[in-house]
Structure 1
Amino acid sequence: MDFCYRAVCDIPQTYNDAIVSAKSRQWKNAMDEEMRSLEENETFHLTQLPPGKKAVGGKWVYALKSDIDR
């Protein structure tokens, strides 16, 4: 059922899928809003990595909200 839902609703699986989709403007706006929220809530701060260390990766996860007024 999960596959059918994703196929019918056209939910991107990757960032690249999102930015080339027919609804790329809406996905971009949602990502911008999410980043603003993270910054406003001081969820992280930028810093220099120590020599020889690598940053932890990240990934966007896309979903459509339903019944958001509840």
Structure 2
Amino acid sequence: MSEKEIEERFIALETKIAYLEEFTSELQEVVVEHTKTIDRLTAVNKALSEKIEDLMQNEEIPNRKPPHY
């Protein structure tokens, strides 16, 4: 291999590494965003589950008409 070929391969590898670093950074941002969303949804799910459990423990669930009647 000539020096020129080695240099071209080296530049190609550096370019690929740069793209991989950028991709990894973007992927990390998406993972962090999704983790925050999952945490929020988990909290909402827990609150709703507790509310449903409280309502089910109450044997007198009101059977009221909606306010527009």
TM-score, scaled to structure 2: 0.34
Structure of greater Rg? 2
Decide which structure has greater helix share. 2
Relative contact order higher in (CA < 8 Å, ≥ 6 apart): 1
